[in-house]
Amino acid sequence: MSHWPGTAVTIGALVVAAWCLVEVARNRPPGRLQYAGLAVVEALVLVHLGAAIVALAGGARPHEYGTFLGYLIAYVIVVPMGFLLARAEPTRWGSVIACVACLIDAVVVVRLNQVWSG
Amino acid sequence: VASRAPAAPDAGRRINRGPGRVLIGVYGLFALAATARAGYQLATKFHEAPLAYLLSALAGLIYIVATIGLSTANRAVAVTCCTIELVGVLAVGTASLADRPAFPDATVWSGYGQGYGFVPLVLPVLGLLWLWRTRRLNPERGTAPDDGTA
């Protein structure tokens, strides 16, 4: 499977995480731009998910199949979960939540690549 | 939308607000991940490492209860779960290093949670710190008598 979708997610997630960190430092909740950033990260995640599904449908098998599928599920739900939690917390801690959600997805990309190639 | 910054110290805050909400998110994710993983392992290869998989299932269960305790502001439940987790990660972490053959496959708590970036070790510490900082309040409900007016 191509590494590009995962790399795009990593870059996008790290940029949005850093951006949310700026809002944490300014003692502010996520603004529209940060929420838009989360949406972009999730869109990139869905592209990656699509690429993974195409690869699996084409007969490719990850080294650890079950673990890979588990990580894929977590991968897709983390940012929407963070989005909803951050909306419920309109303080700087909402920005922390958005930041952490992005960082988790960046880590999950690493794990997806690891369990794919073993 | 109320966005007034809480200038008051954390004491007297509900445990499911502010930093507590960050904890709820991470706990919730770990609850899902640990439980799903343990369920899959117990269902497909229980005989390979029964002790490790049962411990993982127990850890997952405790994360679930901790998530519920934190999100419903049930202080007693949250304190209990965080304490069990801290003891668990220290005990299982030490045991997994001392007696490797007993742990042929990793658990959430093996090696003090190193398979998960030591988050399982850090999480209960952060949880207990947060519960400690918010302690000066009604111990039964996890709320301050004058919550929201400070």
The predicted pLDDT at position B138 comes to 52
Say yes or no: B125 contacts chain A, CB-CB below 8 A.
no
Task: Select from B18, B25, B32 the Cβ nearest to the Cβ of A91.
Answer: B18
* SS3 (DSSP) at A26: coil
Residues 6 or more apart in contact with residue B64 via CB below 8 angstroms = B31, B35
pLDDT value at B7 more than 50? no
Average pLDDT over residues A76-81: 97
The predicted pLDDT at position B3 comes to 55
**ipTM for the predicted complex:** 0.91
Share of chain A above pLDDT 70, in %: 99
The predicted pLDDT at position A51 comes to 96
pLDDT value at A78 more than 70? yes
User: Each residue of B81-135: pLDDT tens digit?
Assistant: 999 999 999 999 999 889 888 777 778 898 999 888 899 999 999 999 999 999 8
The predicted pLDDT at position B140 comes to 53
Average pLDDT over residues A75-92: 97
Q: Which residue of A has its CA nearest to B36?
A: A70
The predicted pLDDT at position A75 comes to 96
Q: Could you tell me which residues are beta bridge partners of residue B129?
A: none
Q: How buried is residue A63: exposed, middle or buried, by Cβ count under 10 Å (0-12/13-18/19+)? A: exposed
As a whole number of angstroms, the distance between CA A36 and CA B96 comes to 44
The predicted pLDDT at position B115 comes to 84
Residue B147: what are its φ and ψ, rounded to 5°?
Answer: -55, 130
User: Each residue of A37-72: pLDDT tens digit?
Assistant: 999 999 999 999 999 999 999 999 998 898 899 999
The predicted pLDDT at position B9 comes to 66
Q: How confident is the model at residue B145 (pLDDT cuts 50, 70, 90)?
A: low
pTM of structure? 0.87
Long-range contacts of A24-29 (CB under 8 A, 24+ apart): A24/A92, A24/A95, A24/A96, A24/A99, A26/A92, A27/A92, A27/B5, A28/A92, A28/A95, A29/A86, A29/A89, A29/A90, A29/A91, A29/A92, A29/A94, A29/A95, A29/B3
Share of chain B above pLDDT 90, in %: 52
Strand locations in chain A (E):
none
The predicted pLDDT at position B149 comes to 45
Q: How confident is the model at residue B148 (pLDDT cuts 50, 70, 90)?
A: very low
Q: Do A97 and B25 touch (CB under 8 A)?
A: yes
* Closest residue by Cα to residue A82 from B126, B21, B48, B130: B21
Give A5 to chain B, closest Cα distance, Å.
23
Disruptive mutation site among B13, B29, B48 for chain A (greatest number of A CBs within 10 Å): B29
Average pLDDT over residues B52-58: 90
The predicted pLDDT at position B135 comes to 86
As a whole number of angstroms, the distance between CA A29 and CA B17 comes to 13
Q: Do B25 and A82 touch (CB under 8 A)?
A: yes
How does the average pLDDT of chain B come out, rounded? 85
pLDDT value at B60 more than 60? yes
User: Each residue of B18-49: pLDDT tens digit?
Assistant: 999 999 999 999 999 889 989 988 998 888 88
Tokens linked to B124? 């209960």
Q: Which residue of B has its CA nearest to A66?
A: B40
